[in-house]
Amino acid sequence: MPQEIYGFVSIILTIVFIGLSWWALQSFRFDKILKHPNGAQAKLLQIFLSIVIGYEISRFFLDYLGWSLTFGNMFS
């Protein structure tokens, strides 16, 4: 896969998974563990958690894609 396409796919996947993790975290009950669940600090925590979770999930899928492409080249 050309480097430009891989870079574009990386950006898109990372943004998509950050958005999905933000969406998934909206169902989490932060009011049970935080003092002020509607405060700015709680929202910042949600943003940081979604970035970390989304980034790690996208890294997994991009690594898997890279391994799959490398594995396919072993037999050609």
pLDDT tens digits for range 6-32 = 899 999 999 999 999 999 999 988 888
Total count of domains within the chain: 1
With beta carbons less than 8 A apart as the criterion, state whether 21 and 53 touch.
yes
Q: Is residue 15 part of a domain?
A: yes
Q: Is residue 76 part of a domain?
A: no
**pTM for the predicted model, two decimal places:** 0.83
Question: What pLDDT, in 10s, does the model give residues 35-67?
Answer: 888 889 989 999 999 999 999 999 999 999 888
Q: Which residue range is the domain that position 16 belongs to?
A: 3-28+39-69
Q: What pLDDT is stored for residue 76 in this prediction?
A: 65
Q: Is residue 54 part of a domain?
A: yes
Nearest residue to 42 via CA among 18, 20, 21, 26: 26
Q: Is residue 7 part of a domain?
A: yes
Q: Is residue 74 part of a domain?
A: no
